[in-house]
Structure 1
Amino acid sequence: MPLKIVFMGTPEFSIPTLDILKKSKFNILTAYTQPPQKSKRGQKIHSSAIEDYCKKNGINFRNPPSLSGEEEFDNFKELFPDVVVVVSYGQIIPKNFLKIAKFGFINIHASLLPKWRGAAPIQRAIMNGDKKIGVSIMKIEEQLDSGPVLTSNELELDQNATHGEIEKKLSIMGAKLLIKSLKTIEIGNPKFID
């Protein structure tokens, strides 16, 4: 029986992961994303890249302004996910949520953990002049970016590449690496490294 997955993501960086999950044999129960927000210019309200993708592809989604609160927790609990995949969601996940999924919450982080935990890892790697950059698949725990790493993949950091070019490469790399990781979770053989 395929893994039942809840997806959490918001920006364009999250799209390759949701897309590869949709094309795989995994069962996407729903996607969580940030609610529509005003743009900086013009103050027009725009939905997230993930919300737009879900609408185009017939994927159920939720876009609550916050995960705190009993109603949102009850909605989440009723999904009974095997695993929750998080990619740049943009909200701290309450600890009571972390106990619901059978195999926990898995995050794609755009750095070679433990280096560059936290926000803006790509920018920090570029500013630091790092020679290598990559993505890590990690388990989410209560402390931000503190969970053990399941696997990672790296590439040479092209100093002439733009942030957008690097981000696109890493988002695709992370999506492919996630599928391999989910397969190890599915067969019951994940090996996390603290």
Structure 2
Amino acid sequence: MRLVFAGTPDFAATALRSLLETDHEVVAVYSQPDRPSGRGRKLTPSPVKQVALNANIPVFQPESLKTAEAQEELRALNADVMIVAAYGLILPQTVLDIPRFGCLNIHASLLPKWRGAAPIQRAIAAGDRETGITIMQMDAGLDTGNMLLKAATPIEESDTGGSLHDRLADMGGKAIVEALDALENGTLTPEAQNNDKACYAHKLSKDEGHIDWTEDASSILRTIRAFNPWPGTYTDADDLRIRIHAAEVIDITSDRHPGTLVNRSREGIDVACGLDVLRITRLQLPGSRPQSVSDLINGGKDILQPGQELD
């Protein structure tokens, strides 16, 4: 089939690579316009655009798909299917109707749970035991279209936002190939979503990474895992902003005020929470690289001592 692919970040780039290994023809790629990046704020192509350029595929980067000009450009490609993965632009109904079989979306959750922008991180933070990939027939709503194919994976206690992202990206690439084969064979069976079971995965913000020590330790740990590597979690110690990269819940109780450091050893820095105690095992000081607490102590840093309160 003749495919048009629309996506922007690494998650989408993985799916594009999978499609390029099939017998389907990717005739064009749509991606967000190049954005300033790095210290020099140099315009940088998206991961999807880079994959497309390496494969000599034409790339289109309109600011919007709502204009007649952009829609005529898409129509001229005569695509059978448009594959969409984390594209970042709203597709109006006129665009959804252009390809012969419409537009298929690769979504990183088991719909109808976690519709929206950040399903991977929200699933970890909520304590979900599994998530997965849904291939969906797009409609004008926000992740509300009929489900065509699902693939599930457990969320391990060791999973972070980064590790689960990478696993789901690989699954998404395999799932869209499987869905296209079924579409071509006429064996796809659309399933309507149960809107009563839907929940929304709001876009992530850096402010959400500020740890609230009045929460229970398990909830804080899930947030640390979910927001690793982005947007990250942090706490303030006097005038220092401490970024937290890894932690664990330990089986002790404390009657200290939430946020109070109760112990400091090479195993970690123990902090009283609203319930239970969280042990920080890996952190990052301002202007430094991430390091273990053991390395912090070996380096002679005397910050973060018992009795100190974090904010």
**Deviation, structure 1 residue 42:** 4.0
**Higher RCO structure (Cα 8 Å, ≥6 apart):** 1
**Which of 57, 64, 67 lines up with 1:69 in the alignment?**
67
**Number of matched residues?**
192
Higher CA-based Rg: 2
Aligned-partner residue type, residue 140 of structure 2: E
Aligned-partner residue type, residue 8 of structure 1: A
Q: Tell me how far apart the structure 2 counterparts of residues 119 and 150 of structure 1 sit (CA, whole Å).
A: 20
Aligned-partner residue type, residue 184 of structure 1: A
Q: Tell me how far apart the structure 1 counterparts of residues 14 and 47 of structure 2 sit (CA, whole Å).
A: 11
**Which of 77, 80, 101 lines up with 1:79 in the alignment?**
77
Partner of residue 168, structure 1 = 166
Partner of residue 131, structure 1 = 129
TM-score (norm 2): 0.60
TM-score (norm 1): 0.95
Partner of residue 180, structure 2 = 182
The runs of 4+ residues in structure 1 deviating greater than 2 Å are 39-44
Q: Tell me how far apart the structure 2 counterparts of residues 86 and 41 of structure 1 sit (CA, whole Å).
A: 30
Q: Deviations over 1:91-129 (max 9, x none)?
A: 001211111111110000000001001110001101101
Structure in which a larger fraction of residues adopt helix? 1
| 8 Å Cα contact 1:126/1:159 also seen in 2 | no
Change (3 A) 1:95 1:41: farther
Aligned-partner residue type, residue 122 of structure 1: I
SS in structure 2 of the partner of residue 184 of structure 1 = helix
Q: Tell me how far apart the structure 2 counterparts of residues 60 and 164 of structure 1 sit (CA, whole Å).
A: 30
Q: Tell me how far apart the structure 2 counterparts of residues 148 and 125 of structure 1 sit (CA, whole Å).
A: 21
Q: Give 1:98-177 correspondences, 5 Å limit.
A: 98-177=96-175
Q: Tell me how far apart the structure 2 counterparts of residues 151 and 177 of structure 1 sit (CA, whole Å).
A: 7
Unpaired runs of 5+ residues, structure 1, are none
| 8 Å Cα contact 1:85/1:106 also seen in 2 | yes
Partner of residue 96, structure 1 = 94
Q: Deviations over 1:120-158 (max 9, x none)?
A: 000110110111011100000011101010111111101
SS in structure 1 of the partner of residue 100 of structure 2 = coil
Q: Tell me how far apart the structure 2 counterparts of residues 56 and 174 of structure 1 sit (CA, whole Å).
A: 21
Q: Tell me how far apart the structure 2 counterparts of residues 101 and 10 of structure 1 sit (CA, whole Å).
A: 20
Aligned-partner residue type, residue 86 of structure 2: S
Q: Deviations over 1:40-87 (max 9, x none)?
A: 754222110011111112111111111121111110111111111001
Q: Tell me how far apart the structure 2 counterparts of residues 106 and 137 of structure 1 sit (CA, whole Å).
A: 7
151-160 or 37-46, larger mean C-alpha shift: 37-46
Partner of residue 51, structure 1 = 49
Aligned-partner residue type, residue 17 of structure 2: D
Partner of residue 37, structure 2 = 39
Partner of residue 5, structure 1 = 3
Q: Deviations over 1:134-190 (max 9, x none)?
A: 110000001110101011111110122221111010010011011111011101221
**Which of 11, 15, 32 lines up with 1:17 in the alignment?**
15
| 1:193 maps onto 2:198 in alignment | no
Structure in which a larger fraction of residues adopt strand? 2
Aligned-partner residue type, residue 51 of structure 2: Y
Identity of aligned residues (%): 37
Unpaired runs of 5+ residues, structure 2, are 193-311
